[in-house]
Structure 1
Amino acid sequence: MAQPVARKTICVIDGQGGGIGSTIIKKIKELFGESVEIVALGTNAIATAQMLKSRANRGASGENAIVQTVPRADVVVGTLGIMLAHAMMGEVTPRMAEAVCGCGAVKLILPISQENVDVIGVSRDPLPHLVDTLVIDHLTPLIRAHP
């Protein structure tokens, strides 16, 4: 008897109002529905609530939630700020950034930053185009690959 294939776990991390994370989750749900598990991890409760409204399967807020959850993820998705201590107006703590950078998950990072950081060699496409590239070109091959 064949074993059921485990769903990939995708952690979407966002802060402040959760708008970028919500946009990402909507696109993932549009393409994959319930074939993946999306965990919304907000640096604050407002961001988490917004991402849950976009149909994330589960959600949690704050430093400890992020530190404890990302090591179990298959994929971590967010903006450049989730890897920078003190980013998002201080919402990303050093422990959060360390957990994201140090976890074994594939990290799909949008080159968007409010931290006076320019990533050289990347386009400045609008957010919807970046999300399409992230989900269609980078996440889809990971989801469709055999575990």
Structure 2
Amino acid sequence: MRIAVVDGQGGGIGRAIVEKIKLEMPREEVLALGTNSVATGQMLRAGADDGATGENAIVHNMKYIDIVVGVIAIINANSMLGELSPKMACAIGESRAFKVLLPINRCNIHVVSVEEQPLGVHIDNAVRAIKDYVMKMEGKQLSI
């Protein structure tokens, strides 16, 4: 499975997600996709297998990944103070990849009926959802 982690600004959330994925699922390939080089660098330092930066990198790679993970703002055009372009949001939203979105209430998005939790809890929940999805897909592949 190819897992893309999308982040921007300082890359701290993406870094934490990459660290947790690599700790829990070291065999899976993690691709760091940053809206800027700082975010990409943070995710690479956290253990991502490869990384790329910018609009074209994000748009291009959405065709080749199985899972995309990030904050809910990655599907909202012009979020992250404008770093996430409409093309990026469209490519992520239209991707056939399984999307795991953390309910971080920023960028003029407020997700209701979601319990306010520390970021670490949301990351744990995201990695759990990714692991469940990978197990499900591996089971489907084995039964063919």
TM-score range normalised by the length of the shorter chain: over 0.9
Q: Classify the secondary structure of the residue corresponding to 2:101.
A: strand
- Equivalenced residue count is 138
Find the partner of 1:17 among 2, 6, 10.
10
**Is 1:56 the counterpart of 2:59 in the alignment?**
no
Find the partner of 2:88 among 84, 90, 96.
96
Give 1:140's aligned amino acid.
K
TM-score, normalized by length of structure 1? 0.91
Give 1:27's aligned amino acid.
K
Q: 2: CA distance between counterparts of 1:78 and 1:117? A: 14
Partner of 1:77: 69
**Is 1:119 the counterpart of 2:111 in the alignment?**
yes
Find the partner of 1:87 among 79, 97, 106.
79
Partner of 1:141: 132
CA shift for structure 1 position 115: 1.3
Partner of 1:30: 23
CA shift for structure 1 position 54: 0.2
Identity of aligned residues (%): 43
TM-score, normalized by length of structure 2? 0.93
Q: 2: CA distance between counterparts of 1:82 and 1:133? A: 18
Gaps of 5+ in 2: none
Give 2:89's aligned amino acid.
A
Q: Classify the secondary structure of the residue corresponding to 1:17.
A: coil
More displaced, 102-111 or 114-123?
114-123
Structure 1 stretches of 4+ with a deviation exceeding 4 A read: none
Q: 2: CA distance between counterparts of 1:22 and 1:86? A: 21
Q: Classify the secondary structure of the residue corresponding to 2:81.
A: helix
